[in-house]
Structure 1
Amino acid sequence: MVQTTQDTGSRPVLPLAPGRPPADSAGRLRSWLRRHPRILTPLRRLMLDMSPYLPGLAQLVARLSARRWGPSPQAYRRWVEEHDTPGPAALAGMVRTALAMPDPPLISVVMPVYNTPEPLLRAAIASVRAQAYPHWEMCIADDASPAPHVQAVLAEAAASDARIRTVRRSCNGHISAASNTALELARGEFVALMDHDDLLPPQALFVVARQIRAHPETDLFFSDEDKVDGEGRRYDPYFKPGWNPELLLGQNLVSHLGVYRRELLNRLGGLREGLEGSQDWDLALRSVAAAGVERVRHIPAILYHWRQGAEATSFSEGALERCAAAGRKALAEHLEQNGAHGAEVVPQGDLPGWPRIRHAMPRPRPMASLILALPAAPEGVEALLPLLEMGGHAPAELLLIWPAGKGQPAPAGTDPRLRLLPGPPAAGRAALLNAAAAQARGEVLVLLEPGVEPAREDWLSELVAQAARPEIGAVGAMLLGPGRRIRHAGYVLDGETPARPWPLLGQAVEDDRGYIGQLRLPRDVSAVSGACLAVRKASFEAVGGLAPLPCWSDVDLCLKLRAAGLRVIWTPFSRLWQRQEDDMADRAARAEALSWLRARWGGRLAQEGFFSPLLPLREGEPSILAAPRAMAGAG
């Protein structure tokens, strides 16, 4: 038996736990290391230095030392108590406001039921009856439950509240069919989808109703959510970004709480059978395609409690592989029906429940022009050829450009893919890249910084396939530093710097999932790093190329592309090493560039649309904000 001894000196004692399972002991070790940074910091540095020689070591140190993704459980509990638990006076005020609301929207809460344990079914119904907003109806379809208590509970609920209407199906048809049966009862202008054992907080429908009246053109609303355990404790919040069409292709961003215009659901024929487990994701995809992205709106508030680990499990908890397969099918059909012909949806290798979309390459395959701006003439080019050889894409060319008069280049050899271009004398990086882009032969430009090297063999093919999509303006890659630590996963706009790296990166390494999977899924971002940025040449020229700035010209380019109606995305499936630190201008030059950007973009620099408005952008802010930040766009 392992003994632990208590040291009365200043040296901390490692808490060994006899008889504990390995996972529990690992968790205790991780917690202990976080409490003793004097040991953790040099240990992390040593392990990261050794990681190039010992595969997997970087992942180990990240799992031992990285902070939790998103807010800590303690911070979330405190935020719930202080900012998300309306008291009796606040709820009474909501009731008065709702009763005085002219033409209040009727919201139909649609809920399919099957063999729900009695306490959970009663709690779900009670959470709707406790709503501060009185203009609702509850439409419940019993999917031929064999348990006798289900009908008894539903009959009792309907008898006690005329707003509750129920129907019993003659045979079991599963969740899609049962949801459609409940939907047939609905009379409301909008429909909120609810599972049979989940909970709505008492302010949920009031918040939704105010959004409906404030944005009458919207057809689909979706809110933030959290989970609730068998003891009713709230945890694991998902503070969602604004509308993010690329992220919706990787996860069901809408559920929960999803609130749909009933006319839209009727037009779509309700939920599709045969996709059980991902039927709500399929519905969200079809609804967005039918309504248009301008009619989708995010509500930055926790309006749904998803029950986990109780006596009853949701379909998606109990049949994960079947749900994942249904999700891939729904996603593939959505892509095909919306112009992404030939796209392949496959499981991610180490995360088989997560999808990866391999977009089809246009025919003929577009040429990619890799452009590298150098401070002086290259002394050798052999070390740069892996950019082409490991790209997994042809045709491609590599253009090297530098200010004329700064050295003589070494012979380039006979490789026709390599072109050496002396640029304008004394030109900065932006001017050099613009000059090379004008001479590029490719339809897709890939702007690179010195010190960037491939980390995966298909890095270029992923960028080209994404950049070739007609709705995409720019694509950024995952950039890795020492120890495979993620250096770049997109930029957020904070109005000060003007853009900063994706928050919540912490000590994330290459294969980490990040907050709710956001480091393993492509997503829309405000801007991406010019250290590796792919853009169609036609789009680059249409917006005037790069502004002649000493820094942040990549941010300006992304803002111009988005202003032109194109999207900017980041993909984790293109990975490169960034061997050098970002080449940042001196303080005076940064101040000049920031002044120029503020004059051009104004308040737009402070409107971050793709990161949760309830999570902090800057150091020193609370881990969860008391009220949402202003966001860009309708989403």
Structure 2
Amino acid sequence: MKPDDAKSDKDAREEIAALKKTVEERDREIAMLAEWMGAVRVDVGSVFSSFAWKIGNALIKIMAGAMGFPYREGLRERLEGVFDSFRAWRASRSKFSRDAGSPSRVFDPDSVLYGRWIQKYDILEDSAISRIRDLARNRPRGPVFSLLMHSKTAGPDQWADSLESVLAQIWPNWEVLSVCGEAGDPTVDTYAARDSRIKKISCSHHSGAARALSRLVSDAKGDFITVLTPGDEWSPDALGRVAEALEQRPGIRLIYTDHDRINGDRMDGDRRRHSPCFKPSWNPDLLASVDFIGPSAFYHRESAVALGGFSPGFSRARGYDLTWRFIEKFGWDALCHIPRPLFHQKSADGDLVRGMRKALEGHFRRLKKNVQVVDVPGGLRTIYPLPSHPPLVSLIIPIRDRADLLRTALDGLLGRTDYEPVEIIVMDNGSRDPETLAYLSEIKKDSRISVIRRPGPFNYSRLNNIGAARAAGEIIGFVNNDIEVISPGWLKEMAGHALRPEIGAVGAMLRYGDGSVQHAGVVMGLRGLADHAFRFMDKGAPNAHPRLGLIQNYSAVTAACMVMRRRVFEKAGGFNEKSLKVTFNDVDLCLRLEKMGHRILWTPFAELSHHESSTRGPDHHPKRALRLAREIRFMKSKWKKTIENDPCYSPNLTRDGYDFAPGPPVGRKSTQPTR
């Protein structure tokens, strides 16, 4: 290659790199704009649905009519046009980016946003320091925490960063037990000479991590043990807050905190905390998808020894394996979550997914459950096989006119769904449109479809309760008429989970027509009372949150597509026909199922399209607004505690947006109950 050609090639590569960087910056700006547009759209909808707007609008109509002025409705439609145009443009741009081979990026929360959150909310108050010191004076002998450190490759700076964070602890009752390679020996010796609580344990340099940790567990004297990888750090109040949790709940066996990532060395000035992991206090099916408890776990030492300690063969997932064995032995009530980012991880996760899969397969094997575990982006997927003769599923669809929507729904439910046997129960709430009436007469010829006419004021709860009473299936599904099947395996996925004895109801991934998320579970307290997680987030967006692709528990899912066992539905008493005729009846049912001891599960592996409220329409009329206000008051009165503190969410996440971004802590306590 000639020198000029080499220079030209280098310039081209630099220009391409600069262009890629510019495109990535624009992608991020567009993602932020889309989130803002989505929030504005909801706010606009709230304004138009508000009682004040409806009353004012009605008065304007009356005044305009009395004065002879023409009245034109159109502001809402024009705004909706703007939103739809933006979403269509964004969808076409995303398709262009994918077709052009634009690399997708992993979710990385805005470091500036999280930095502001740290400055404002992650503050070590003088009162907390005094409280921890008072507790230490009153409890001079405990609890004692054993921090186990092992590494053959970590350098002196990594050991120093971790040990300095331990020496900075306000709580004095701790010990460090370390097994280190040659690189760390002088550093550990130096710190051991400074503080007798730091001990170096002799162990063959040829020993694996599991054997070294087993040696440390056997030598530990503390009440609780935790693994501290060199380079990782604890906040100064970490051990003190764990001690406070033990004081409040002395029977707990496993404690975990929130955590984040950290860059830079402790001694230099270029340190940055980023990528916060704000965790739920209870989410068994999410734990089966990803180790959200992670490296910030404290295990009751005697219980860990009795369970065999850290087992070999799991690499960095050895804690995940031990966590499942704790849950099998002691249950979720023995776990405790401290909703503060007290742990700062610098070490790499290594080959975590392979070890996680092995640990989860071992968990199901010990429980004698036939569950398939497969890798998916961001974690694991659990597949619960159906019986050799799958049970009948009864799908209930309330309608009023709109034959076009019903035709699309039935074409997908019967023609593009790879599950049998299925029956369809169409609940006709007084259709008058000739096309719809003709179509209903036509579909009744199909032995799989029955049509039940129930005219009168729209009462979603009553229509579904009547349909469920007529259902013959062991499994029932509630499906809106504006649902469209986009993946054939959706019902197999939902039915497999619905047949699990511990599951009360199963929800699906619902998408708008452009592919963006309409429903990915319901978060209590989101935007007031309850709303859908990840609403408006694009399919395959570069800033997509990792939880968006994982099976997990939520406090509720929407009945626009909800599947459950009929016996469970009947035991719960069905939908509330009296107090929740139209809205929030699905949320109320899910919360009652949870109170009965069942979990609510959402799966991203059942995908459908949802044209939201196409039949009922938005609540514009003043009577509808009054009804909605009554239903909101009922929900806030009945489910106040869950609205304030959703155990499947985090008190450190936003209540104003849909993207699980950091937000002002709401109802954050020193410990969070597991349910």
TM over 0.5, shorter chain: yes
Separation (CA, whole Å) in 2 of partners of 1:89 and 1:381 = 61
- Structure 2 counterpart of 1:5: none
Separation (CA, whole Å) in 1 of partners of 2:404 and 2:148 = 69
- Are residues 1:345 and 2:373 paired? yes
Separation (CA, whole Å) in 2 of partners of 1:493 and 1:598 = 11
Residues 245-272 of structure 1, C-alpha deviation per residue, up to 9 Å, x if partnerless? 1110111111131011112211210111
Larger relative contact order, structure 1 or 2 (CA cutoff 8 Å, min sep 6): 2
Change (3 A) 1:53 1:442: farther
- Structure 2 counterpart of 1:324: 353
Q: 1:369-388 maps to which residues of 2 (within 5 A)?
A: 369-376=394-401, 382-383=407-408, 384-388=410-414
Aligned pair partner of 1:526 in 555, 572, 590: 555
Q: 1:229: Cα distance to partner? A: 1.0
Q: Secondary structure at the match of 1:484?
A: coil
Q: 1:60: Cα distance to partner? A: 8.9
Separation (CA, whole Å) in 2 of partners of 1:509 and 1:33 = 11
Residues 98-141 of structure 1, C-alpha deviation per residue, up to 9 Å, x if partnerless? 22346531111112221211111122112111111001111212
Separation (CA, whole Å) in 2 of partners of 1:527 and 1:390 = 27
- The alignment's C-alpha RMSD in Å is 3.4
Instruction: Report if aligned partners of 2:141, 2:173 keep a CA contact under 8 Å in 1.
Output: no
Percent sequence identity over aligned pairs: 25
- Are residues 1:570 and 2:609 paired? no
- Are residues 1:553 and 2:585 paired? yes
Say which is worse superposed, 593-602 or 383-392, in terms of deviation: 593-602
Change (3 A) 1:534 1:59: farther
Change (3 A) 1:29 1:492: closer
- Are residues 1:618 and 2:650 paired? no
- Structure 2 counterpart of 1:3: none
Separation (CA, whole Å) in 1 of partners of 2:557 and 2:281 = 18
Separation (CA, whole Å) in 2 of partners of 1:466 and 1:448 = 17
- Structure 1 counterpart of 2:631: 593
- Are residues 1:487 and 2:496 paired? no
- Are residues 1:634 and 2:662 paired? no
- Are residues 1:175 and 2:200 paired? no
- Structure 2 counterpart of 1:122: 160
- Structure 1 counterpart of 2:258: 224
Q: 1:524: Cα distance to partner? A: 1.0
Say which is worse superposed, 608-617 or 93-102, in terms of deviation: 93-102
Aligned pair partner of 1:362 in 379, 384, 387: 387
Instruction: Report if aligned partners of 2:529, 2:643 keep a CA contact under 8 Å in 1.
Output: yes
- Structure 1 counterpart of 2:304: 265
- Structure 1 counterpart of 2:644: 606
Q: 1:335: Cα distance to partner? A: 2.1
Q: 1:3-22 maps to which residues of 2 (within 5 A)?
A: 18=15, 20-22=17-19
- Structure 2 counterpart of 1:163: 197
Q: 1:598: Cα distance to partner? A: 3.8
Q: 1:613: Cα distance to partner? A: 0.5
Change (3 A) 1:513 1:432: farther
Give 5+ residue unaligned stretches, structure 2: 1-13, 39-80, 266-270
Q: Secondary structure at the match of 1:287?
A: helix
Instruction: Report if aligned partners of 1:494, 1:608 keep a CA contact under 8 Å in 2.
Output: yes
Change (3 A) 1:475 1:128: same
Change (3 A) 1:560 1:361: same
Q: 1:286: Cα distance to partner? A: 1.7
- Structure 2 counterpart of 1:445: 476
Separation (CA, whole Å) in 2 of partners of 1:456 and 1:118 = 53
Change (3 A) 1:45 1:499: closer
Separation (CA, whole Å) in 1 of partners of 2:486 and 2:97 = 15
Q: 1:64: Cα distance to partner? A: 12
- Are residues 1:242 and 2:285 paired? no
- Structure 1 counterpart of 2:330: 291
Say which is worse superposed, 159-168 or 18-27, in terms of deviation: 18-27
Change (3 A) 1:102 1:117: closer
Aligned pair partner of 1:392 in 411, 418, 423: 418
Residue type matched to 1:461 in 2? K
Q: 1:189-228 maps to which residues of 2 (within 5 A)?
A: 189-228=223-262
Residue type matched to 2:296 in 1? L
- Are residues 1:28 and 2:25 paired? yes
Change (3 A) 1:276 1:444: same
Residues 466-501 of structure 1, C-alpha deviation per residue, up to 9 Å, x if partnerless? 111110001111110032010111112229853122
Separation (CA, whole Å) in 1 of partners of 2:630 and 2:125 = 49
Separation (CA, whole Å) in 2 of partners of 1:36 and 1:374 = 36
- Structure 2 counterpart of 1:12: none
Q: 1:188: Cα distance to partner? A: 1.1
Change (3 A) 1:324 1:379: closer
Residue type matched to 1:79 in 2? W
Q: 1:327: Cα distance to partner? A: 1.6
Residue type matched to 2:586 in 1? D
Residues 271-325 of structure 1, C-alpha deviation per residue, up to 9 Å, x if partnerless? 11111132121121222122101111111011111005xxxxx4x33xx3xx322
Residue type matched to 1:358 in 2? I
Give 5+ residue unaligned stretches, structure 1: 1-16, 309-313
Q: 1:446: Cα distance to partner? A: 0.9
Instruction: Report if aligned partners of 2:444, 2:451 keep a CA contact under 8 Å in 1.
Output: no
Separation (CA, whole Å) in 2 of partners of 1:597 and 1:89 = 36
Instruction: Report if aligned partners of 1:33, 1:40 keep a CA contact under 8 Å in 2.
Output: no
TM-score (norm 2): 0.80
Residues 217-266 of structure 1, C-alpha deviation per residue, up to 9 Å, x if partnerless? 11111110011113432111111122211110111111131011112211
Q: Secondary structure at the match of 1:591?
A: helix
Q: 1:628: Cα distance to partner? A: 4.8
TM-score (norm 1): 0.85
Q: 1:401: Cα distance to partner? A: 1.3
Residue type matched to 2:23 in 1? A
- Structure 2 counterpart of 1:543: 572
Instruction: Report if aligned partners of 2:225, 2:299 keep a CA contact under 8 Å in 1.
Output: yes
Residue type matched to 1:355 in 2? L
Change (3 A) 1:591 1:133: same
Q: 1:421: Cα distance to partner? A: 2.1
Separation (CA, whole Å) in 2 of partners of 1:379 and 1:496 = 33
Q: 1:45: Cα distance to partner? A: 5.3
| Corresponding pairs, count | 597
